[in-house]
Structure 1
Amino acid sequence: MIRVIVWNEYLHEKENQVVASLYPNGIHGAIGAGIAKEDVQVRYATLDMPEHGLSDEVLSETDVLIWWGHRGHNQVSDEIVERVQKRVLQGMGLIVLHSGHFSKIFKKLMGTTCDLKWRAVGEKERLWVVDPSHPIAEGVGQFIELEHEEMYGEHFDIPAPDELVFVSWFEGGEVFRSGCTFRRGQGKIFYFRPGHETYPTYHNQDVLRVISNAVHWAAPKLGAKPVYGHVKEPLEPIKSV
């Protein structure tokens, strides 16, 4: 069982009738309902909860954290950001969606500004699969086409991704690295671009399939446990001492 937390600042849905009509159960509710499977247990956390819903206990019981944020980036406690970073370095998977590129946690893990170009006029987006063999792209086809989305354009100020899975083309002509993987410590990170709040992106089955695939990819796998610190006893005799 993969234990997933879908985190959403949950601000737009309370203040914007368009967003509320598209996501009556919140953006987090739509994502959670779309990825829930027999082997995936979904829980939710929001900005207004104590400790943003991300206590040490909750994070210790989380295999993958999905993060959606936009207006409330600066309202996220630095203490919680440190806590999430620690869990990622220990092996928890992190999936960052859309405007989460500007979240404190993503910028901290990337070490860059994570800035980009943008335009919100509802233009067509075509996400091309540029790594068909990657498990995150399984079952998607050559591309995903979204009738209306916010444009993000290069240059995207991030480190070179470990793997590039999707590249977007927009109706206005811009392109963007829309599906990027990174490893930090023992944890896996996937950034996935689409998901502007005023469009029904998280009802698109291909988008939900990518997020579901990413959950399975990012979930911790059993492997060698790293050992750090002072080694008192050498494995072999050291004759030069």
Structure 2
Amino acid sequence: MARVTVWNEYRHERESDAVADRYPDGIHAVLADAFEEAGHEVRTATLDEGPEHGLTEAVLDDTDVLTWWGHAAHDEVRDVVVDRVHERVLDGMGLLVLHSAHYSKIFKRLMGTSCSLKWREAGETERLWTVEPSHPIAAGVGEYLELDETETYGERFDVPAPDTLVFTSWFAGGETFRSGCCYRRGNGKVFYFRPGHETYPIYHDDDVRRVLRNAVDWAEPGDEPAPEFGNAEPIEDIDASDDRTVR
């Protein structure tokens, strides 16, 4: 089982009664419950949990997969913490980026783009089509999953082309959106999953929880051999007598 750290901004739940009604203990608590149901070892961390936002070196060193939910306070995340998370992803830690965390510092750092998109909040139906049904993240989902009320996102989504696109969304207002994007960054796996606006009970949905549990299993570091870097001995015999040779 994976060691999962669920990171949440945890501002909306404390400032809005409508959000607190859906997530009385915070979005992070509902997500943690979904992962604990699968038997994972789970801890939570939040933005206001000290100067390191709960993401100390010790916590990240003990994390196989980090999930990230943020919305209103992306700029408050300290750059030193972003640097730390970025390094851990390159070293092999998995990262699940959820909904409005497309604008998080860490996702923009990993993508190298603005990560901008179109949006509208009107409680529209969303149908997420499984466009890569053989992918592990889509296991058990079926041809599509449907959410009765969601915030709408629309293209263009300014991210690099995903290594694999698992889900694409259609909204009642007509927009489409790449909603389940897989990337490799260094030794780490990154999955962006669109559903999850704070005023709708998205993370209580069984299909959404299944996708997130599948994503943890996919993003968890495996037993793949680590690549070797740096100065290398030649495989074949070469003339290394030149004074420019560095060995």
Q: Give the equivalent residue in structure 2 for 1:30.
A: 30
SS of equivalent residue, structure 2 residue 48: coil
In structure 2, distance between residues paired with 1:39 and 1:91:
21
Q: Give the equivalent residue in structure 2 for 1:103.
A: 104
TM-score (norm 1): 0.97
Aligned residues: 240
Letter of the 2:85 partner, please give it: V
Q: Quote the RMSD (CA, aligned, Å).
A: 1.1
SS of equivalent residue, structure 1 residue 52: coil
Q: Give the equivalent residue in structure 1 for 2:245.
A: none
**1:38 positional shift:** 5.4
Extract structure 1 runs of 4+ deviating beyond 6 A: none
Letter of the 1:67 partner, please give it: W
CA offsets per residue over residues 22-66 of structure 1, 9 Å max, x none? 001100000110121454111000000121010111100100000
In structure 2, distance between residues paired with 1:152 and 1:107:
17
In structure 1, distance between residues paired with 2:169 and 2:209:
17
- Which range moves more in the overlay, 142-151 or 32-41? 32-41
Q: Give the equivalent residue in structure 2 for 1:131.
A: 132
Q: Give the equivalent residue in structure 1 for 2:12.
A: 12
Letter of the 2:138 partner, please give it: A
Structure 1: which 5+ residue stretches go unaligned?
A: none
**1:212 positional shift:** 0.3
SS of equivalent residue, structure 1 residue 25: coil
**1:226 positional shift:** 1.5
Q: Give the equivalent residue in structure 1 for 2:57.
A: 56
The answer as to 2:62 corresponding to 1:78 is no
Structure 2: which 5+ residue stretches go unaligned?
A: 242-247
Q: Give the equivalent residue in structure 2 for 1:46.
A: 46
Report the CA distance shift for 1:148/1:38 in structure 2 as closer, same or farther (over 3 A): closer
SS of equivalent residue, structure 1 residue 62: coil
CA contact (8 A) 1:35 1:209 kept: no
**1:237 positional shift:** 3.3
Q: Give the equivalent residue in structure 2 for 1:218.
A: 219
**1:240 positional shift:** 6.0
CA offsets per residue over residues 194-236 of structure 1, 9 Å max, x none? 00000000000000000000000000001112221223x4344
In structure 2, distance between residues paired with 1:15 and 1:30:
18
Letter of the 2:122 partner, please give it: V
In structure 1, distance between residues paired with 2:37 and 2:73:
30
The 5 Å alignment of 1:146-185 reads 146-185=147-186
Pair member with larger Rg: 2
Percentage of identical aligned residues: 61
CA contact (8 A) 2:38 2:213 kept: no
Letter of the 1:106 partner, please give it: F
- Which range moves more in the overlay, 180-189 or 28-37? 28-37
Q: Give the equivalent residue in structure 2 for 1:230.
A: 231
- Which range moves more in the overlay, 37-46 or 151-160? 37-46
CA contact (8 A) 1:90 1:187 kept: yes
SS of equivalent residue, structure 2 residue 53: helix
